[in-house]
Structure 1
Amino acid sequence: MVSLLCCGPKMAACGIVLSVWGVIMLVLLGIFFNVHSAVLIEDVPTKEEDFKGGPSRIYGLYEQVSYNCFIAAGLYVLLGGFSFCQVRLNKRKEYMVR
């Protein structure tokens, strides 16, 4: 039987905690970028020309950053799923040893 276990129980638990925090933070950031929050303008990659084209160009940049945040949150969900599987494999290994 091939074991897919590659992390210990503490590292897997840490991965779950980091994933939950990452998903919460990135989803909230994605929502705030999607509603064009003025506080986040410094985090939008703008050039001088973008401000001359009216607000539609800036809004497009906000939405692109919002999509990037949602994609990163999805990657954190995958990491959380992987960490959860590692926790389950560690529990099964511990059960089989006893």
Structure 2
Amino acid sequence: MASLLCCGPKMAACGIVLSVWGVIMLVLLGLFFNVHSAVLIEDIPATEDDFKSGMTKIHKLYDQVSYNCFIAAGLYFVLGGFCFCQVRLNKRKEYMVR
């Protein structure tokens, strides 16, 4: 069981904190991109031709960036779960040693 342990308790706790922050931040960004927030226009990969061809292309780019944010939030969630398992394994190891 201890062979699954690959990081210490402090690193695992830090990973949980960073994962929670990453999930919150990326879900909020994904929601704001999904509603096509005008403030985020500079963060989409649009060219001048995209603006000339109409807003449908811009809206598709907003949606694509939104999906990317949600996918990244999911990856952070999985990383947080892994770090949580590492914390539990570290506590179990500490309990077994005593």
Shared fold per TM-score greater than 0.5: yes
Runs of at least 5 residues in structure 2 that lack an aligned partner in the other structure: none
Say whether the 8 Å CA contact 2:29–2:69 is kept in structure 1: yes
Report how far residue 74 of structure 1 moved. 0.3
Determine the structure 1 residue equivalent to 2:24. Answer: 24
Q: TM-score, normalised by structure 2?
A: 0.98
Q: How does 1:1-98 map to 2 (within 5 A)?
A: 3-98=3-98
Seen in structure 2, the aligned counterparts of structure 1 residues 2 and 91 have a Cα distance that, compared at 3 Å, is: closer
Q: TM-score, normalised by structure 1?
A: 0.98
* 3-state SS, counterpart of residue 18 of structure 2: helix
Give RMSD over aligned pairs.
Answer: 0.9
Structure 1 stretches of at least 4 aligned residues deviating more than 6 Å after TM superposition: none
Distance in 2 between the 1:57 and 1:6 partners?
Answer: 45
State the identity as a percent. 84
